[in-house]
Amino acid sequence: MNNQAPLSRRRFLRGTSIALAIPTFESLSCATATSQQSPRRLVCVGNHLGFYPGNFFPISGGKDYSPTSTLKPLEAHQNDLTVFSHLDHQLNGGHKAVQGFLNGIKKEEASGFPTKNMSLDQAAAEYVGNATRFPSITTGITNGTDMCWTRSGVHIPPVNNPAKLFQGLFIQASTSSREAQRTRLKYRASILDALRESASALNRTLNTADQNKLDQYLTSVRDVERQLQMSNQWINRPKPEATIQEIQDEERQQIDEVGLFYELMALALQTDSTRVTTLETGLGFRTSELDLESYHALSHHGKAEDRIDQLKVVESFLTGKLNNFISRLKEAEIFDQTLIVFGSGMSDGSIHSNRDLPVLLAGGGLDHQGHLICPEEHHKRVPLCNLWLSVLNWFGSDTERFGRSTGTFSPMKIA
């Protein structure tokens, strides 16, 4: 448990009329994420194909629930996590709506929101700013995943090569390479200056609708400028030494890299190279560790028992890797300062459902509640973005809205 001052009751309960059976997350606090003593860290893990509900959600609520097959590998850490039932974003669209897992907004609907479809991790990364070499690190198994989005609605493709990530974290570039990078940054900065001047002149001749479009464009320009400033500040700073052997750039069957990415993420957090990191597991991956059909094909189980049994193997494999990651963070003594979001924007892949999403939180020094059953009735539904807003407040951000949130994730009913 952390020793930070708790969030005020009035602020924590703001903006909600939802009653939950168990008082949760009263230990959330608004400590500064950039504290040198115990900086807070956020890890988001998303699986594109969801988790079969019967394998994921426990039957009973509370701390003493019996873990399902998917949660069984996490049993040693059961007191350090909360599983949520009946949370979602009220989205439809199957695979296409999975992109809304960390923001609650599909890309085609993003223009109606102040921060577009910015994802949870990127909102946290903005708060960190240039306090670390990498404001965030996005990783992924296979291409085609789309979990992370900037404030201007631009997708951030994940690094899907562990060797490339290792190099970025620990291999110091040569002097000539650093000078070349500095030259590129100066060149890009001069182009942005010219674009900004041209935009200012153009703005005086545009109607309101076109001015709004131009404002969106300038927001993207400002995002790039901020990235340039961060990159320039860190060019000549030495990188930390790796505590594992250098990862070579070689072919691997994709799902075998899950554990490797988790190890690199742990090292990135432990060395304070970043405080925000994500992992996406996408469509079509396989592993030599599991003699199974295509994972995507298995997700279309059609309620066939043999396929559901094989899904148990795949899904427990994934939570087993999460279990190892949690153990790794505990060994490094940073688990209580690290909040892990784990789940998916898909629930039952067989029917392409985006409702009742599988979600759990682990770590963060919270008073975890085991299995928290949220209201199932439509008129009492708690938006998943309320939980994301509370995650951001825990991280240190004082933002009052996120995505489709209606308030923070409150355990009490407000009259």
Give the residue-averaged pLDDT of 397-405: 94
The pLDDT value recorded for residue 87 is: 96
Question: CA–CA separation, 48 vs 214, rounded Å?
Answer: 34
Q: Give percent of the chain above pLDDT 90.
A: 49
> Which residues, 6 or more positions from 54, have their beta carbon under 8 angstroms from its beta carbon?
68, 308
Residue 218: pLDDT over 90: no
The pLDDT value recorded for residue 177 is: 63
The pLDDT value recorded for residue 149 is: 95
- For residues 115-128, b (16+ Cβ closer than 10 Å) or e, as one string? bbbbbbbbbbbbbb
Question: Are 2 and 398 contacting, i.e. CB atoms less than 8 angstroms apart?
Answer: no
Q: Please report where in the chains the tokens 């994921």 appear, as a residue.
A: 56
The pLDDT value recorded for residue 250 is: 59
Pick 166 or 32 by higher pLDDT: 166
Q: Which pTM value belongs to this model?
A: 0.80
What band does 415 get if pLDDT is binned at 50, 70 and 90? very low
The pLDDT value recorded for residue 24 is: 35
Residue 22: pLDDT over 80: no
231 burial type by CB count under 10 A (0-12 exposed, 13-18 middle, 19+ buried)? middle
The pLDDT value recorded for residue 346 is: 94
Question: CA–CA separation, 278 vs 155, rounded Å?
Answer: 13
Q: Give percent of the chain above pLDDT 70.
A: 70
What band does 410 get if pLDDT is binned at 50, 70 and 90? confident
The pLDDT value recorded for residue 258 is: 86
The pLDDT value recorded for residue 53 is: 94
Question: Are 43 and 265 contacting, i.e. CB atoms less than 8 angstroms apart?
Answer: yes
Pick 98 or 172 by higher pLDDT: 98
Q: Which of 28-42, 86-100, 237-251 has the lowest mean pLDDT?
A: 28-42
Question: CA–CA separation, 58 vs 79, rounded Å?
Answer: 15
The pLDDT value recorded for residue 139 is: 92
Pick 73 or 410 by higher pLDDT: 73
The pLDDT value recorded for residue 328 is: 96
The pLDDT value recorded for residue 181 is: 57
Question: Are 49 and 346 contacting, i.e. CB atoms less than 8 angstroms apart?
Answer: yes
The pLDDT value recorded for residue 252 is: 53
Average predicted confidence (pLDDT) for the chain: 80
What band does 10 get if pLDDT is binned at 50, 70 and 90? very low
Give the residue-averaged pLDDT of 190-194: 60
* Total number of residues shown for the chain: 415
Give the residue-averaged pLDDT of 302-321: 88
Give the residue-averaged pLDDT of 68-94: 96
First to last CA, the chain: 31
- Tens of pLDDT along 113-142? 989 999 999 999 999 988 998 899 999 886
Give the residue-averaged pLDDT of 152-162: 89
- Tens of pLDDT along 241-292? 888 888 876 545 445 678 889 999 999 999 999 999 999 987 666 555 566 6
- Tens of pLDDT along 222-244? 665 555 455 566 566 788 888 88
What band does 356 get if pLDDT is binned at 50, 70 and 90? very high
Coil/strand/helix, residue 200: helix
The pLDDT value recorded for residue 211 is: 65
Give the residue-averaged pLDDT of 139-167: 85
Q: Which of 8-17, 289-298, 349-358 has the lowest mean pLDDT?
A: 8-17
The pLDDT value recorded for residue 292 is: 62
Per-residue tokens: 195: 């674009």
Task: Please check whether the domain covering 9-167+252-395 is classified as CATH 3.40.50.
Answer: no
DSSP 75-136: GGGGGGEEEEES-B-----GGGGGGGTTTS--GGGGGGSTTTT--HHHHHHHHHGGGSS-S-
The pLDDT value recorded for residue 27 is: 36
Give the residue-averaged pLDDT of 149-159: 90
The pLDDT value recorded for residue 11 is: 36
Domain ranges of the chain: 9-167+252-395, 173-237
42 bridge partner residues: 276, 339
Question: CA–CA separation, 90 vs 105, rounded Å?
Answer: 10
Give the residue-averaged pLDDT of 88-96: 94
